[in-house]
Amino acid sequence: MSGNGLSSPSEMTDNFISLLNTIRQGDHYLITDDFDSYIAALAMVDEAYLDRDEWIKKSIRTTAKVSSKMIPVRRH
């Protein structure tokens, strides 16, 4: 720990790895089995968000797809 009481990045990483290993060893319901792919997906989202224009386009398309499935289309 540094003088200000905050952990250094390496200490935080070590603590995180230790915590994650503890959780995985006692994970009888296999909740953490896909944790690594979840973190990878978050990294892809972070990268996609950096391209603001493309992010906005994707957001609009996704919203339109969801709303089109929720709202019945009336056809005459």
Taking 50 as the threshold, does the pLDDT of residue 26 lie above it?
Answer: yes
Do 47 and 61 have their domain in common? Answer: yes
Cite the beta strand spans of the chain per DSSP E: none
pTM above 0.85, yes or no: no
The answer to whether 24 touches 32, Cβ cutoff 8 Å, is yes
Give me the domain span that covers residue 55: 34-71
In this predicted structure, what is the pLDDT of residue 20?
Answer: 78
Distance CA 5, CA 12 (A): 12
Kindly state whether residue 64 falls inside one of the protein's structural domains. yes
Residue 19 scores a pLDDT above 50: yes
| Range 4-33 average pLDDT | 76
Q: What is the domain count for the chain?
A: 2
Angle between helices 35-50 and 52-70 (to 10 degrees): 120
